[in-house]
Structure 1
Amino acid sequence: MPIFVAVDLGAETGRVLRGTFDGGRLEVGEVHRFVNRPVALPQGLHWDVLALFADLSAGLTAALADRGGDRVAGVGIDAWGNDFALLDRDGRLVGNPWHYRDRRTESSTRLVARRVDPAVLYRTTGTAPLSINTASQLVAMEGSAQLDVAERLVMLPDLFGYWLSGRLVTEQTIASTSQLLDVGTRRWAAGVIEALGIPGRLFATDVVSPGTRIGSLLTDRRVPLWAVAGHDTASAVAAVPAGAPGFGYISSGTWSLVGLELPEPVLTDEARLAGFSNEAGVDGTVRFLRNGTGLWLLQRCRAAWGALPYSDLVAAAGTAPAFRSLVDPDAPCLVAPDDMPGRLAELCRASAQPVPAGRAELVRCVLDSLACKHRWTLERAEELAGVRAEVVHIVGGGAANPLLCQLTADLTGRPVLAGPVEATAVGNLLVQARAAGELSSLAEIRQVVRASMPPRHFEPRPSDAVEEAYARFRTLVDTGDMI
């Protein structure tokens, strides 16, 4: 049977996973897991891509060595969006890449808006204006020595693919997070790049679709390297086990990405002002979504409490009073990583709500608030796109949180299908399988996911308490009553 290997890089951890495909079912096993540790230098926050490459290379060595008599039919890499590396004219790295949470971009969205009319920019790229976007980061680097010597820009999964194969390409889905890709042609938006004052020479690499063969591993020429859906969310959405169109999805991890899969982008001013992006998906689909804060809130609370098991925290939250205190997960004061319990308590105090007493009530506040924001975002996506989602799929880490899944079903009033938890890796592996000729369509990919990892069902439980809580949440969000 063919074996495929996925490198899945997240903002907190990286993993190398091996998938064995028998033609109808996929079995996935983790080979290597490692920590992704950002590095705070005096001038700002960076990613340690050299350490990441060493770790993923060690994982690949282990995955390729322990294969028995099976054929390794490919390797694929996915990672988070927006961040990038710069290479000089000899293809060498120009410094460690900046971290999207670095504060240097705080005023960049205003600079971008001064140079290109926001409505024109949105109609061209389909991307919401965010300080973390590649465009904003490059504008913040204007005049830097690093940018002056750079000859090529490369998104992070493509950087690691370059180091593994010696071939430099830009994968379509990861490029679509940049605010520099034309949403119609799925090529670099040269006019936007020029108007923003960004050197055009950085974008000379070809933009390729998921499933394109990049080359072969330098360490083993028998093993192909495939361009998968390089943006981790795009890989996760490819693995949504939907049996028909008309679904909503929540890719739930550090971020909550709530959206719809559409055949065409939504490029109205209303969509722009609501903060929705039109990101590239597999097979020409559009991921019409809004990027919001997700389990980051729980992750940072847990870090403050000494890394208690998530299962224990969620179980305790299930015994706490429901909807007692609510916050907007996207409140600006919740971006910083320090003292998250104190920041959440202060938000409740400032909005004249009860301050959560203890860890259980604080976790309950987080999960209740995330479920409310899931509904708020889904309903806006439906209104803007003119479609209704009859079912909601939750994939990623949040799919393993039964309380969050049930709350989301209750708040949205739709059935929630949870799983797979490892959706990003599964999407990565099955896009490779299709590229290798084992599958023929996105629908077949999703059929394999349903057969291999049946989702868990959560039915909505309508109640007056749910509607009253959501009305309070709407008041908080719509009036901006958050710090």
Structure 2
Amino acid sequence: MSTFYVACDLGADKGRVMLGTLAQGELTLSEAHQFPNRPIRQKDSLLWDMPSLFEESLEGLRAIGAYDEPVESISCHSWGSDYLLFDARGSLLAPTYHPADARFREGMKSVVAKVPREVIYEETGGQPSPGSTLCQLGAEKSRRLSKADCLMPVADAFNYLLGGVSRVETSLACTTRLFNPVTEAWSERLFKALHLPREIFPPVVPGGTELGPLRPELAKRTGLAEARVIASCSHELSAALATLPAAYGETWGFLRLGPSAIVGAELDRPRISEVIRDSNFTMELGFGGSARLSTPAVGLSLVEDCRRFWGQKDREIQLDVLMHLAGSAPPFESLINPEDPRFHETSDLPLKIQAFCKETHQAVPRKPGPVIRCVLESLALLYRKRLDDFEALTGTQITRLYLMGSSVNALLTHFTANALQIPVVLAPTEAASIGNVIVQALTLGHLKSLAQGRQIVRSSFKMQTIMPHALAWNAAYGRLRQFCSN
């Protein structure tokens, strides 16, 4: 017997509606609909087109309804921090601002002027950042908030639009920087200090909470009359981590790789301390009461910035050609500190890399291959440093790394395994949707345990493991640590 579930995958650049099918202990995933998600500009404002995104999601549900399969449930997952406001009638209070909108530039200043950073960390386990819900609300007009009946992060807002029940799932609540991961409740202290209307923040529920049926009019429009709406694991990263097929007792870390990166691992309980705060690690909650300590890191935006520079010089190089050139270049001739402030400004990046290498008395890479090899080797060593920082903070030794993200490339994967000197496992590309579906099945009692869900993932999706082999990376790591300490 087959059971069917829908995962609405809402990404910051595109959305997809995925159909998950469980049959005889195996899971298959197929894409029913894909659509772009691009911010729109209205006069001087940068906005998300949320009505269009929801209509596109419904189009995907209609496509699945046309299959005439008995879909059990639907759940959405998304990026964090951004939010939607609704009035008392359940209507969206437009517009929904993009975090890069100019109005939020002063939001963080407004927040930290009222609440010290140390207090924000004590209350939420994370640092304030300009794009967080906390700092976006620092720039929100009080008149608009006075009209709001509820505020919800993106995926939870879409679950609300589908089923009519306003709840915020724990993993997305953490991304707001208004939620305390220790008490597992909204921070009343921050609400009072920032004069935020407490009543517009819905109750927080754990991952795997059934919210109820589809709204009758949507059940009719989509043909999914029997489907239930579930708050599975609303944050995309938490959904991806929920069902990684780690062996029991294995101490594993993760690296989510894209234009930027996130490095971290799970803990047995939330930990908040000054040492962790000063190391720029964030404490968040995941599925099943899991706690996650992670930190942002530089990602593959450095590679794209170099390609853009060469393209502007009439030297456009395809990514696969560039990776071949990098793989053929001599190893460890030059390294950079990817977090050096000069690399935050994306223009003329190869020239800035050359200047760094000259200043640090290294060989100066002149051609694209050596430049990109320098970038990739430096990134791999940076990720080792981040995991070393985690181990020093927690006393935990990581023995395996799960690598996630659509931007993963083979060369950086091998470099990362060698730099870390531990096996690196390539997680399924659709890890977030897989986790979403497995949690739905658990919620409805179709699976007995999370361990069973992880076993299904292990048997359903082929995952490549890269073993480390080159010990020369240890000497290179010492060089990178020296650059990072200067």
Give the TM-score, by structure 1 length: 0.89
CA distance in 2, matches of 1:31, 1:335: 38
Say if 1:462 and 1:319 are closer, same or farther in 2 by CA, change over 3 A.
closer
Of 471, 476, 480, 2:483 maps to 476
CA distance in 2, matches of 1:328, 1:97: 37
Are the aligned partners of 2:284 and 2:291 in contact in 1 as well (CA < 8 Å)?
yes
Of 207, 211, 215, 1:210 maps to 207
CA distance in 2, matches of 1:301, 1:99: 26
Shift of 1:34: 1.6
Shift of 1:319: 2.3
SS where residue 119 of structure 2 aligns? Answer: helix
1:22-65 Cα shifts (integer Å, max 9, x gaps): 24211111222221111234433222212211222211211222
Of 238, 260, 263, 1:234 maps to 238
What is aligned with 1:427?
Answer: 435
Q: Which amino acid aligns with 1:199?
A: P
What is aligned with 1:170?
Answer: 168
What is aligned with 2:381?
Answer: 372
SS where residue 447 of structure 2 aligns? Answer: coil
Are the aligned partners of 1:109 and 1:129 in contact in 2 as well (CA < 8 Å)?
yes
Are the aligned partners of 2:8 and 2:75 in contact in 1 as well (CA < 8 Å)?
yes
Shift of 1:288: 0.9
CA distance in 2, matches of 1:186, 1:369: 38
SS where residue 318 of structure 1 aligns? Answer: helix
SS where residue 176 of structure 1 aligns? Answer: helix
- 1:272 equivalenced with 2:277 (yes/no): yes
SS where residue 94 of structure 1 aligns? Answer: coil
Q: Which amino acid aligns with 2:385?
A: W
- 1:440 equivalenced with 2:448 (yes/no): yes
CA distance in 2, matches of 1:81, 1:138: 14
Are the aligned partners of 1:161 and 1:225 in contact in 2 as well (CA < 8 Å)?
yes
1:57-72 to structure 2, matched below 5 A, reads 57-67=58-68, 70-72=69-71
The CA RMSD measured in Å over matched residues stands at: 2.5
Say if 1:308 and 1:350 are closer, same or farther in 2 by CA, change over 3 A.
closer
1:306-358 Cα shifts (integer Å, max 9, x gaps): 9976545434432233344444444556567xxx4623532442453666545
- 1:256 equivalenced with 2:261 (yes/no): yes
Are the aligned partners of 1:214 and 1:226 in contact in 2 as well (CA < 8 Å)?
yes
Q: Which amino acid aligns with 2:148?
A: A
Give the TM-score, by structure 2 length: 0.89
Shift of 1:262: 0.9
Shift of 1:17: 1.3
SS where residue 397 of structure 1 aligns? Answer: coil
Shift of 1:286: 0.6
What is aligned with 2:291?
Answer: 286
CA distance in 2, matches of 1:425, 1:320: 37
Shift of 1:211: 1.0
1:89-145 Cα shifts (integer Å, max 9, x gaps): 33222223222333544454454334334333322211223222111111122x454
Q: In the comparison of the two structures, how many residue pairs are matched?
A: 470
Say if 1:230 and 1:108 are closer, same or farther in 2 by CA, change over 3 A.
same
Moved more, 449-458 or 360-369: 360-369
Say if 1:253 and 1:447 are closer, same or farther in 2 by CA, change over 3 A.
farther
What is aligned with 1:458?
Answer: 466
Q: Which amino acid aligns with 1:8?
A: D
Moved more, 454-463 or 384-393: 454-463
Q: Which amino acid aligns with 1:174?
A: L
Shift of 1:229: 0.9
What is aligned with 2:349?
Answer: 343
- Report percent identity of matched pairs: 33
Gaps spanning 5+ residues in structure 2: where?
220-224
CA distance in 1, matches of 2:64, 2:366: 47
SS where residue 417 of structure 1 aligns? Answer: strand
Say if 1:74 and 1:323 are closer, same or farther in 2 by CA, change over 3 A.
farther
CA distance in 1, matches of 2:367, 2:146: 52
- 1:181 equivalenced with 2:186 (yes/no): no
What is aligned with 1:45?
Answer: 46
Are the aligned partners of 2:191 and 2:197 in contact in 1 as well (CA < 8 Å)?
yes
What is aligned with 2:149?
Answer: 151
Shift of 1:423: 0.8
Say if 1:331 and 1:168 are closer, same or farther in 2 by CA, change over 3 A.
farther
- 1:15 equivalenced with 2:16 (yes/no): yes
CA distance in 2, matches of 1:19, 1:94: 33
Are the aligned partners of 1:282 and 1:442 in contact in 2 as well (CA < 8 Å)?
no
Between structure 1 and structure 2, the one with the greater Rg is 2
What is aligned with 1:79?
Answer: 78
Shift of 1:415: 1.0
CA distance in 2, matches of 1:362, 1:146: 49
Shift of 1:187: 1.8
1:191-225 Cα shifts (integer Å, max 9, x gaps): 2121123222321x111111111222232231111
Moved more, 117-126 or 227-236: 117-126
Q: Which amino acid aligns with 1:443?
A: A
Are the aligned partners of 2:15 and 2:37 in contact in 1 as well (CA < 8 Å)?
yes
What is aligned with 1:91?
Answer: 90
CA distance in 2, matches of 1:316, 1:31: 37
Are the aligned partners of 1:240 and 1:395 in contact in 2 as well (CA < 8 Å)?
no
What is aligned with 1:321?
Answer: 330
Say if 1:347 and 1:237 are closer, same or farther in 2 by CA, change over 3 A.
same
Are the aligned partners of 2:117 and 2:127 in contact in 1 as well (CA < 8 Å)?
no
CA distance in 1, matches of 2:126, 2:29: 33
Say if 1:225 and 1:349 are closer, same or farther in 2 by CA, change over 3 A.
same
Are the aligned partners of 2:336 and 2:356 in contact in 1 as well (CA < 8 Å)?
no
CA distance in 2, matches of 1:326, 1:105: 35
What is aligned with 2:222?
Answer: none
1:125-140 to structure 2, matched below 5 A, reads 125-140=124-139
